[in-house]
Amino acid sequence: MKIYKVSELLEEIKWLLEDTYGLISVEGEASEVKYSQKGHLYFSLKDEKALIKIVVWSNIVYKLPFKIEEGRIFIVTGVLTIYPPTGNFQMEARKIEPSGIGALKLALEQRKKKLQEEGLFDERKKKPLPMLPQRIGVITSPEGAAIRDFLKILDECKVNIFIKVFPSLMQGKDAANQIIEGLEYFKKESIDLVVITRGGGSFEDLMPFNEEFLVRSIYKFPIPVLSAVGHEVDVTLCDLVADIRAATPTDAARIIKNQLDGVYEKIINYEEEINYFLINKLERGKLKLNNYKAIFSFKNLSNILKEFKERLNFLVFRFKEGKFKFLNKEKEKLKTINYNFSKKIYTFTLYHKGKLSSLEVKLKNIKYLLRQKKEKVEDLKVGLMHLNLKRTLKRGFSIIRKNGNIIRESNETNIGDNIEGELYKGRLLCQIIKKEEP
Write out the chain's pLDDT in tens, 438 residues. 777 777 777 777 878 777 778 888 888 888 888 989 888 999 998 888 888 899 999 998 888 877 888 878 888 898 888 887 777 888 889 888 887 666 667 777 788 888 888 888 888 989 999 888 889 999 999 888 888 888 888 888 877 889 999 999 988 889 999 999 999 999 988 899 999 998 877 777 888 888 889 999 999 999 999 998 877 667 888 989 999 999 888 889 899 988 888 877 777 777 677 777 777 777 777 777 766 666 655 556 667 667 767 777 777 777 767 766 766 776 677 677 666 766 766 676 677 677 777 777 788 788 888 888 888 887 777 666 666 777 777 778 888 888 888 888 878 788 888 888 888 788 888 988 887 776
Q: Could you give the CA distance from residue 179 to residue 229 in angstroms, rounded to a whole number? A: 12
Strand order in the sheet with 399-402: 405-406, 399-402, 418-422, 427-431
Q: What is the 3-state secondary structure (H, E, C) of the chain?
A: CCCCCHHHHHHHHHHHHHHHHCEEEEEEEEEEEEECCCCCEEEEEECCCCEEEEEECHHHHCCCCCCCCCCCEEEEEEEEEEECCCCEEEEEEEEEEECCCCHHHHHHHHHHHHHHHHCCCCHHHCCCCCCCCCEEEEEECCCCHHHHHHHHHHCCCCCCCEEEEEECCCCCCCHHHHHHHHHHHHHCCCCCEEEEEECCCCCCCCHHHHCHHHHHHHHHCCCCEEEEECCCCCCCHHHHHCCEECCCHHHHHHHHHHHHHHHHHHHHHHHHHHHHHHHHHHHHHHHHHHHHHHHCCHHHHHHHHHHHHHHHHHHHHHHHHHHHHHHHHHHHHHHHHHHHHHHHHHHHHHHHHHHHHHHHHHHHHHHHHHHHHHHHHHHHHHHHHHCCHHHHHHCCCCEEEECCEECCCHHHCCCCCEEEEECCCCEEEEECCCCCCC
Amino acid (1-letter code) at residue 46: K
Q: Could you give the CA distance from residue 68 to residue 45 in angstroms, rounded to a whole number? A: 11
Q: Could you give the CA distance from residue 211 to residue 403 in angstroms, rounded to a whole number? A: 104
- Kindly tell me the burial class for residue 238, based on how many C-beta atoms sit within 10 Å of its own C-beta (0-12, 13-18, 19 or more): buried
Q: Could you give the CA distance from residue 30 to residue 71 in angstroms, rounded to a whole number? A: 6
- Cα–Cα nearest to 67, from 24, 103, 14, 116: 103
- Cα–Cα nearest to 47, from 26, 18, 25: 26
The reported pLDDT for the residue numbered 182 is 94
Q: Could you give the CA distance from residue 416 to residue 438 in angstroms, rounded to a whole number? A: 19
Give the distance between the most distant pair of CA atoms in the chain: 157
Q: With beta carbons less than 8 A apart as the criterion, state whether 401 and 420 touch.
A: yes
Q: Could you give the CA distance from residue 432 to residue 412 in angstroms, rounded to a whole number? A: 12
- Cα–Cα nearest to 25, from 72, 71, 79: 79
Rg of the Cα atoms in the chain: 57
Neighbours of 228 (CB within 10 A): 28
